[in-house]
Structure 1
Amino acid sequence: MSSAAPRTTGQGHLWSVDEHLQDILATVRPLDPIELQLLDAQGCVLVEDVTVPVSLPPFDNSSMDGYAVRVADVAGASEEFPAVLEVVGDVAAGDSQLLHVGPGQSARIMTGAPLPPGAEAVVPVEWTDGGLGEGPVTGMRARSLAPEGAVGHVHVYRPAEARAHVRAQGSDVKAGDRALESGTVLGPPQIGLLAAIGRGTVRVRPRPRVVVMSTGSELVPPGEELGSGQIYDSNSFALTAAAGDAGAIAYRVGAVADDAETLRSTIDDQLVRADLVVTTGGVSVGAYDVVKEALSYAGDEDEAGSGIDFRKLAMQPGKPQGFGTIGPDHTPLLALPGNPVSSYVSFELFVRPAIRTLMGLDDVHRPTVRATLTADKALTSPKGRRQFLRGTHRDGAVTPVGGAGSHLVAALAHADALIVVPEDIETVEPGTEVEVVLLG
């Protein structure tokens, strides 16, 4: 999961956003490939080219319910002068012993059934009398025609060209073609294709298992009664949902009280099911910032090369951050700030790329675009920090949502983009073109 311990610096070093992200991506490595059953592989990244062993369709088959005929036998057929053909039998989907269609003959055929030898085309049942001698079959009578009707004769009222209504063998994919490339994310259509060509298992990088926990004795699970000084634990829900959205198998642990020993014990217990651990809260400079107390390098000397480095980043929101590895397998851990907006922005910038890297994806970042700022007044940004403001993006324009406060979770719920203000810019006037990170 990780190849090297993260870098450490002096306490006074102010990390840039790019430096912190580069350190994370240099440490985190894609998960080892495994063989999975098809449905277990949904959302995973393929690590092999898949070649088609059998053509699709594997045989010529009918695309309609109707009659398999020879072209010459229906040439010039019309309602006034229909072609009258002997019906030699039925051909249903899955039939292995096929009838032979000779001159003046036809075989009633169902959609998906193999084209019988001698037949050159299929005439839809609506072009016939359905073998009933009562004129063209239409409407409900066409749909309710019983496939086990008596063998006899059929009147055909329209001619058919060669190969009409026939799905040719290999018209979808041919044996030897490449069905899927290595690096493909397996969604429902890809799973369906693998099943169609007979693959029961596939070699993929598994979806990473991400454990999310928040810290704070003041946190209460939603649905319970709030006491004095308590708030609901929203961060662990938001980040668990975000991890699942990024492609991970996400586990929410819930809030851990402000006790370093309890936190460390909880994390240790979770490592058995974690490819990545995410904590939120307790990374600042307060008296109860237990994540720093529990997970700093000085407290993690039992595992060589492990430990969490706590940093200050030149960004707003999200200045305090922690990153490193922990436990015998050197599991990556990202420690995010506790304010709701800070934690979510930090997730998008740092955790999501880490999850996508574990998955083995080439493009791990959210898409970015240039857009025109529409606002009632100029935006201000602290000098020397890269600011990420919430916004809505529409038709090449972006509008700020809410203020810059890192506690404004309601505004965050209405945003679908982050407006990026670089470190060297303190004021952005309306009408200015800005960089926008798309969240949707």
Structure 2
Amino acid sequence: MTATADAEAAANELTPLADYLGSVLRRLRALPPLDLDLTQAYGNVLAEDVVAPHSYPAFDQAAVDGYAARWEDISGGSRGPGYVPAPSGMPGGRSIRLNVVGDLGAASWRPVRLTPGSCFSVAAGAPLPIGADVVVPVEWTDQGMAAVEIFRAPKRGYGLRRAGEELVAGTLLARAGAYVSPALVAVFAATGIGHVVVRPSPRVVIVATGDELVDVGRGSQAGQVVDTNSHALTAAAAEAGGLAYRVGICDDDPEALRGLLEDQTLRADLIITTGGTGTGPGDMVRRILSRRDGGRAGPVTFTEVALYPGTALGFGTVGAEEVPVVCLPGEPGAALIGFEVLARPAIQLLAGAEPVFRPSVRAHLLETVSSPAGLREFRPAHVAERRGGGYTVQPLAGGPYTLSGLAEANGLLVLGERVNTAAAGSTVDVLLLDRRR
């Protein structure tokens, strides 16, 4: 048997990634909804549709500072008792002079009515006088107080907003599954909504395991490895919308690990462990959490998945509350990729978000790449929009295990199980990563 044949045979024994993800995500349910004050709702996902109880704007109002008038007065179509022809000689021809009969601010509430040849001085946001159908901007006038001279006549309807012009009562503002953004908070507030029903942000606890781990702030030495994963995964969980808690390092002590996980179930909606998912002598997490007790399987099932990097993933529940647990590999690149393909969708599902996966595009590959036989590879890449439309994708040097590549990437190039080589110029799938740069 050739090396290639051996690799293909081994890959055939692995669980396809799509099948594995489907089996895991079907076991999860969105968290129970909460009724939250609007100021606390940002970043959560709506649990139900939101409909406007009131219109916006709520009343006819000025959109600019100026003078609220009747358009027929300033267009020359009316010669009411308050109309006074302005002196001639203004640039561009004749102007119009109107009597200013009052001032209206945003806090004005008494209804007033315009009479022919009159106007009101208004501030942006002020309610319009009855009969007004235009607001002349201040800069188009001489800014008079008792009478105003208008040098330029706007079109009818200029400078004002009618009640319900943007949103009428009963309008669907957002559907269940939508994120509450700052702009959506503004829309809710403007239409009279003070509370919304949302899914709470999942509480995600991250635990790094291994006797070899030491905390950050020092360099690695023989027999010691700096704990990269718990810090990186805590940041990733927060970016995914979770309330992330880094527990830190747990040694390969069976009782300590069991006790720590039991304690964390009291404050977690999801627990993520990293390290110990393989079958080696030091892979304590797999040995402890998959151990059979009284003929029953352990609380976590570990599966060899057709994924590169990092084939060994674990999923199950722990504690009386059956809190979901995701077990990721210890190698930092594999842990971050494992988070992207498994833990992040789990967080999104618990939060009630739709869809749970990152957006993807089809892109023109700029460089020929090879991929392991039978594995679905996720490789750091840089994706860019083409001037004529579409996307290009450049694989980053070093492959999926390089942290520097993951830090630089704004996308993950996805190469399927049947792809051994993807030629430059071919079209490939790319997951788009959030990058706030």
The TM-score range, normalised by the shorter chain, is 0.7 to 0.9
* Paired residue secondary structure (1:294): helix
Q: In structure 1, how many angstroms separate the alpha carbons of the residues matched to 2:141 and 2:393?
A: 60
1:5: which partner in 2?
none
Query: What's 1:339 paired with?
Result: 331
Give the corresponding residue for 2:345: 353
Is 1:401 the counterpart of 2:386? The answer is no
Q: 1:424 aligns with which of 397, 405, 418?
A: 418
Cα 1:66–1:315, aligned 2, differ >3 Å: closer, same or farther? closer
1:57 aligns with 2:57: yes
Q: Per-residue displacement from partner, 1:63-91 (whole Å, max 9, x unpaired)? A: 11111222333234773643332222210
- 2:315 & 2:158 partners in 1: Cα distance? 64
The residue that corresponds to 2:137 in the other structure is: 124
CA–CA separation in structure 2 for the residues paired with 1:432 and 1:122? 58
The range that moved more, 87-96 or 156-165, is 156-165
2-structure distance, mates of 1:345, 1:331: 22
Question: TM-score when scaled to structure 2?
Answer: 0.85
Match of 1:97 among 106, 110, 113: 110
1:261 aligns with 2:261: no
**In 2, are the aligned partners of 1:99 and 1:107 still within 8 Å (CA)?**
no
- Structure 1: runs of 5 or more not aligned: 1-11, 132-150
1:190-339 map, 5 Å:
190-224=184-218, 229-298=223-292, 307-339=299-331
Q: Encode CA deviations 1:218-255: one digit per residue, 9 max, x unaligned.
A: 32332357665323221112211211222222111122
Give, as a single letter, the amino acid of the residue that structure 2 aligns with 1:28: L
Alignment of 1:359-374 (within 5 A): 359-374=351-366
Give 2:179's match in structure 1, choosing from 170, 185, 194: 185
What pairs up with 1:25-40 in 2 under 5 angstroms?
Answer: 25-40=25-40
Q: Which residue of 1 aligns with 2:380?
A: 390
Change (3 A) 1:130 1:421: closer
Q: Considering only aligned residues, what root-mean-square deviation do their CA atoms show, in Å? A: 2.5
Identity %, equivalent residues = 40
Q: 1:308 to 1:126 in 2, by over 3 A?
A: same
TM-aligned CA distance change 1:72 to 1:405, over 3 Å = closer
- List alignment gaps of at least 5 residues for structure 2: 1-11, 77-84
Alpha-carbon distance in 1 for matches of 2:420, 2:194: 57
Tell me: CA distance 1:165–1:285, structure 2 relative to 1, closer, same or farther (3 Å): same
Q: Give the conservation status (yes or no) of the 8 Å contact 2:292–2:298.
A: no
TM-score of the superposed pair, with normalisation by structure 1 = 0.85
Give the distance between the partners of 1:34 and 1:276, measured in 2 at CA.
Answer: 18
Asked if 2 retains the 8 angstrom alpha-carbon contact of 1:91 and 1:98, the reply is no
Bigger drift between 352-361 and 415-424 goes to 415-424
- Secondary structure of 1:424's counterpart equals coil
What is the number of residues matched between the two proteins? 405
What is the CA distance between 1:399 and its match in structure 2? Answer: 2.7
Distance 1:294 1:115, change over 3 A: same
Secondary structure of the 1:58 match is: coil
1:313 and 1:200 mapped to 2: Cα distance? 46
Q: List per-residue Cα deviations over 1:342-376 (Å, max 9, x = no partner).
A: 1111111111111111122332112333334333x
1:139 is matched with: none
Deviates more, 1:196-205 or 1:264-273: 264-273
SS in 2 for 1:236: helix
The aligned counterpart of 1:113 is: 126
For 2:215 and 2:355, the matched residues in 1 are separated by 35
Distance in 1 (CA, whole Å) between partners of 2:413 and 2:211 is 33
2-side partners of 1:382 and 1:331: how far apart?
Answer: 34
- Give the C-alpha shift of residue 327 in structure 1: 1.1
1:173 and 1:319, CA in 2 relative to 1: closer, same or farther beyond 3 A? Answer: same
Distance 1:33 1:352 in 2: 20
> Aligned residue for 1:148?
none
